[in-house]
């Protein structure tokens, strides 16, 4: 029996989804920091030819500094939950998003997707997350 251990930094801020549900008010700088971290993370994933396929606010971990006033605290974000990650060469026909709120229109018929089309579906999901982060409400496409 093989046993695998994964060690990583503890993100005490919880998930972005938890912050949304608790109505946490991010400062504009904090929103920019989160957006920058997520864009860098997704860029790194895509640079390796991988597609996340399950980008949602619950798969974003936050680390909020305890120092300073609430609006001036340093914040960082990382993409988590790589259980649905696939290489674009092997992703053909694979379902795109588990959560329909983050599903790109072109991802509805997964059989028609191939190769780099999957990158666009990740970008759409990230756009949904950033929309909610900036406007503090879900987009008009969510019922």
Q: Please list the residues that pair with 104 across neighbouring strands.
A: none
Count other Cβ atoms within 10 Å, centred on residue 9.
Answer: 9
Active site residue 54: yes
Distances (CA, A) of 70 to 17, 74, 81: 19, 9, 28
**Token pair 């989160």 is at which residue?**
34
Structure tokens at 132: 């909610």
Which of 37, 54, 117, 122 is the catalytic position?
Answer: 54
Q: Which residues are catalytic?
A: 54
């Amino acid at each position: 029996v093989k046993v695998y251990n994964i060690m990583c930094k503890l993100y005490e801020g919880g998930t972005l989804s938890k912050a949304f549900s608790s109505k946490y008010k991010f400062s504009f700088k904090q929103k920019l920091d989160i957006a920058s971290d997520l864009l860098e993370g997704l860029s790194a994933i895509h640079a390796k030819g991988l597609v996340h396929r399950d980008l949602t606010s619950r798969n974003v971990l936050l680390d909020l500094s305890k120092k300073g006033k609430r609006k001036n605290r340093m914040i960082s974000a990382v993409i988590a939950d790589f259980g649905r990650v696939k290489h674009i060469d092997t992703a053909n026909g694979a379902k795109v998003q588990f959560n329909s709120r983050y599903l790109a229109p072109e991802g509805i018929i997964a059989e028609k997707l191939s190769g780099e089309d999957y990158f666009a579906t990740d970008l759409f999901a990230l756009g949904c997350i950033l929309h909610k982060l900036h406007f503090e409400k879900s987009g008009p496409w969510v019922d």
